[in-house]
A and B are shown apart, each in its own frame.
Chain A
Amino acid sequence: MEWETVIGLEVHVQLATASKLFSGSSTRFGAEPNTQANVFDLALPGTLPVLNGKAVEMAVKFGLAVGAEIGHKSVFDRKNYFYPDSPKGYQTSQLEFPTVGKGSLTITLDDGTTKVIGITRAHLEEDAGKSLHEEFPTETGIDLNRAGTPLLEIVSEPELRSAKEAVAYLKKMHSLIVYLGISDGDMSQGSMRCDANVSVRPKGEAKFGTRAEIKNINSFRFVEKAINVEVARQIDILEDGGKVKQETRLYDADKNETRSMRSKEVANDYRYFPEPDLLPIVIDDAFISKIRATLPELPDVKALRFQTQYELSAYDATVLTNEFHTAAFFEEVVAACQDAKLSANWVMGDLQACLNKSELSIQKSPVSSTALAGMISRILDNTISSKIAKTVFVAMVAGEGSADSIIAAKGLKQITDTGAIELIVDAIIAANTKQVEQYRAGEEKVFAFFVGLVMKESRGKANPNQINLILKSKLTAK
């Protein structure tokens, strides 16, 4: 039987506010345990929450960016459960009236086609603290620094049909939140986390299968692997005539498997009810207009602009605009060197490869946009060939200085003197009469042999276009 995968994602985004959702404590990552937990974060008796307006602004900003309805009145609720890293014994969240309602996100698939994925809602809630097991052999430590950090939980419709689509959705989401400046998007620090609701059904069936929720998959790679392994597990069960259980499962990256969480942890009745310590958030049109005015150019719009303004292909424009800082870097390079196509090629090609290899973000690129533009300018004015440029670039990455100083120090300046190249060509033609005859007899592939020799003789510095022209004329001239 052919099976269809159905996936819905819940993405938790840590909002980049300076202080927590309901207390003035700092949200900075990595401080000593419990140094960023005040009397409210410790849930001391008598303390009360005060809403951080910045978090609301960020949620609304996100809502506008995905074309969502903004709740004019949103309400916080208490979600009750006991856990040591949940100091109040309830999490303050939004159930019935989230700040952000229905919207959508357009994703681009590998074949270049696009697909619109519905967003059900996005609501504000507070993060939990952390339980520390490792430092204490017989006890559990509690660190409440993270407790109360604002999260935006973004829930998608079950409209994703493969792990690849899920990854495309997450990448697009990641791109968006960084564009909007509402999160640093640093997945290694948990700034964006994901739960996946996964089910399968026979192809053509309208009804959804029973789903399993896979918790806390925190990298693009693990999302894809976790979903694929879960889909395989469910299909196995169904093909053996069994039934998938509705449950919460954890992905174990080491074993590449999902496994059931203990039912005790799952069978919670959260007993939601409206948070009486907070008033409803009332959002009027004036507030929405104010936030709308702060929206930056979003990836899709930027990609279209790149196509028209820089005459880039749809593919190049999309790749360059996926990531806010990459797009900004590219535009700096173009502004300095005035050649969009070459800039695009270098940013997407050698630079990206170098960054991937050293696992650096473009903000930490060893070659600045100005430096890269400087090098491209030398290609444009024929000081170096594109091939030599690769050597120059490697030296720049290694920190050997600007393109100009590297070209000078290594003597890489291209030979554009026609006379000098002609001398080399003449010598080579004289020394390789057999190949000259082959060429003249119609074996055109021998041409590359001559180009190679000229390059070798000029130590790569001869201008390739001039080599071609001179060789052609001399070889065909009898």
Chain B
Amino acid sequence: MLNQGIADIARALVSGEYSSVEITQAYLDQIALHNGELNAFITVTPEQALAQAAAADQVRASGNAGVFTGVPIAHKDIFCTAGVRTSCGSRMLDNFIAPYNATVVEKLLNAGAVMLGKTNMDEFAMGSSNETSYYGPVKNPWNRTLVPGGSSGGSAAAVSGQLCPAATATDTGGSIRQPASFCGLTGIKPTYGRVSRWGMIAFASSLDQAGTLTRTAEDAAIMLGIMAGFDPKDSTSVDLPVPDYCAQLNKPLHGLRIGIPRQHFAQGLKPEVEIQIRAALHEFEKLGATIKEISLDNSHYSVAAYYVIAPAEASANLSRYDGVRFGYRCAKPVDLEDMYKRSRGEGFGAEVKRRIMIGTYALSAGYYDAYYIKAQKVRRLIKDDFVHAFTEVDVIMGPTSPHTAFPLGAKTKDPVAMYLEDIYTIAVNLAGLPGISIPAGTVNGLPVGLQIVGRDFDEAKLLNIAHMFQQATAWHLLTPGA
């Protein structure tokens, strides 16, 4: 029963096949058994989970259960959870017990979800391999010598490794879609503003967006339907009604116009990955879609623009970690400056420090126009490319990543190689668009992800397309070692 998703579990709970306490205990046992190896969880909350499960079973017994009542999930450790350590993968917050729930956590809690624990992640979501975590690297369940992708690597490994049926995640430059691709999962990053950021620890405020890592598009539709919506506590969340994503899953794809950017099928893409992606595209043609090559002219600037804007915002967002009010404080500071320097020097890892320095530099007097302003102009051009493309096509498809999961340690010495990991995903964040990665084949037994990008607030369409593909194929059903 552990290779089930949200929809499966929901059905089993309704039919009484097992109780929430039973399925929760089964996952807790699984975590106890395998987390040592996968390192997918930073914190496991068994007592709380079982209490929530028991409460959910009671709600069900009283006839008031919703779809999500009693379904166990995990939260990326970037979401504040009241009374539970929220570390963001950093020594800086190793001792931080959040006094409040993130809106995403609160909404899922209200829907009856059971929290199994908090998943590992790159420190402050800065990384593409889950190797920058203070709590050590996460292993890819498909092959434990490989990375799971990042920064939501813990959530991806937990779902893929069957330690939980679904998990929350966040995506600033590809942090949901790339791990989904590497671990054979469905990962959706909604439109910027679709899901509240309140209580989600900020990396780059104008790019961060919460989403899900699940086994299927149907699960993503169920979970996103609960998480999405306007939140008065997040001024950048958008006040638009949330459509019923599940109701639209089965719309036929006949007439769907798919654009494939030639820049995403160019140099750098592994040929064996391209073969899988082209095969998946052919599958869509069989479902009635048409394919058209398009151009995203400025896409080759996206990584450069991103690595100015994201670190710039991060450099300010991470200023609050100063050892004064919460989090890590160095031992015996001699004065204020010493406290700042050592608390931050000892509390942050190397990649976080690198990005704070890049961002600080980019915002400095004399460089601001050349870097930050220029990057914002590029960002606008990138958005314009998409807007133009969407006059001709309904969605854009391509590989999520140029390759499959790579070995642990392979890129840790080369930050630029690591930054290029997100070459196909970053532009989507810069443009604020929704994107989803779904399993679309394997290479040497490792999953390959197909990225589908839609217009603003077109999540329903992305989920519909992903679901129809999953009805026609079985890639999403593959599990590690199966």
Give me the interface of A with B, judged by CB distance under 8 Å: 39, 42-51, 78, 80, 82, 84, 87-90, 140, 142, 269, 271-273, 276-279
Contacts and interface: CB of A to CB of B under 8 A. Distances in A.
A51 B320 CA distance: 20
B206 interface: yes
B236 A277 contact: yes
B201 A45 contact: yes
A48 B336 CA distance: 26
Q: Which interface residue of A78, A88, A269, A273 has the most chain B CB atoms within 10 A?
A: A273
Contacts of B320: 43, 45, 87-89
A140 B324 CA distance: 10
A44 B322 contact: no
B233 A50 contact: yes
Contacts of B365: 269, 271
Interface stretch (B92-100, B297-305, B455-463): B92-100
A145 to B, nearest CB: 14
Q: Which interface residue of B96, B199, B318, B320 has the most chain A CB atoms within 10 A?
A: B320
Contact of B100 (A39, A272, A277): A39
Majority DSSP secondary structure for residues of A touching B: loop
Nearest to A270: B365
Q: Which interface residue of A46, A51, A88 has the most chain B CB atoms within 10 A?
A: A46
B359 to A, nearest CB: 9
A82 B365 CA distance: 17
Interface string B188-201: 00000000011111
A85 B80 CA distance: 24
Contacts of A271: 315-316, 360, 363-365, 368
Contacts of B183: none
Given A271-B364, A273-B368, A278-B235, A42 B326 contact: yes
Contact of A46 (B199, B232, B319, B340): B199
Interface residues of B, number: 43
B235 A46 contact: no
A273 B362 CA distance: 10
B10 interface: no
A43 B340 contact: no
Nearest to A50: B235
A268 to B, nearest CB: 10
Contact of A273 (B200, B233, B372): B372
A45 B93 contact: yes
Interface string B356-373: 000010011100100010
9 contacts: A46-B197, A46-B198, A46-B199, A78-B316, A80-B316, A88-B320, A89-B322, A142-B325, A271-B368
A187 B197 CA distance: 39
B346 interface: no
A88 B99 CA distance: 17
Nearest to B366: A269
A45 B198 contact: no
B249 interface: no
Q: Which interface residue of B88, B201, B322, B326 has the most chain A CB atoms within 10 A?
A: B322
Given A89-B320, A273-B372, A278-B235, A46 B206 contact: no
Interface in B67-97: 79-80, 86, 88, 93, 96
Nearest to B96: A45
Nearest to B196: A48
B422 interface: no
Contacts of A42: 325-326
A271 to B, nearest CB: 4
Given A88-B319, A273-B363, 8 more contacts: A45-B98, A46-B198, A48-B235, A84-B322, A88-B320, A89-B320, A276-B236, A277-B205
Given A80-B319, A89-B319, A90-B319, A44 B99 contact: yes
Contacts, number: 102
Contacts of B197: 46, 48
Given A45-B86, A46-B198, A82-B322, A39 B235 contact: no
Contacts of A45: 80, 86, 88, 93, 96, 98, 201-202, 320
B420 interface: no
B98 A46 contact: yes
Contacts of B86: 45-46
Nearest to A49: B235
B364 A269 contact: yes
Contact of A44 (B98, B204, B232): B98
A272 B367 CA distance: 12
Q: Which interface residue of B200, B319, B364 has the most chain A CB atoms within 10 A?
A: B319
A361 B340 CA distance: 45
Contacts of A140: 336
A388 to B, nearest CB: 65
Contacts of B312: 273
Interface string B441-453: 0000000000000
A270 to B, nearest CB: 9
A82 B324 CA distance: 11
Given A45-B88, A46-B201, A271-B363, A276 B319 contact: no
B54 interface: no
Nearest to A22: B235
B107 to A, nearest CB: 15
Nearest to B344: A82
Interface string B18-44: 000000000000000000000000000
B289 interface: no
Q: Which interface residue of A44, A87, A277 has the most chain B CB atoms within 10 A?
A: A44
A88 B320 CA distance: 5
Contacts of B102: 46
B66 to A, nearest CB: 26
B201 A82 contact: no
Nearest to B232: A50
A46 B200 contact: yes
B305 to A, nearest CB: 14
B235 A279 contact: yes
B219 interface: no
Contacts of B325: 42-44, 87, 142
Q: Which interface residue of B201, B206, B316 has the most chain A CB atoms within 10 A?
A: B316
Given A46-B201, A84-B324, A88-B320, A279 B80 contact: no
B313 interface: yes
Contacts of B272: none
Nearest to B237: A48
A276 B98 contact: no
Nearest to B202: A46
Contacts of B199: 46-47
B293 interface: no
A89 B198 CA distance: 19
B8 interface: no
A448 B86 CA distance: 90
A82 to B, nearest CB: 6
A50 B233 CA distance: 6
B331 to A, nearest CB: 15
Interface in B286-334: 312-313, 315-316, 318-320, 322, 324-326
A268 B41 CA distance: 41
B316 A279 contact: no
Contacts of A80: 315-316, 319, 363
B87 to A, nearest CB: 10
Contacts of A90: 316, 319
Contact of A142 (B205, B235, B324, B372): B324
A273 B98 CA distance: 28
Interface in B226-253: 232-236
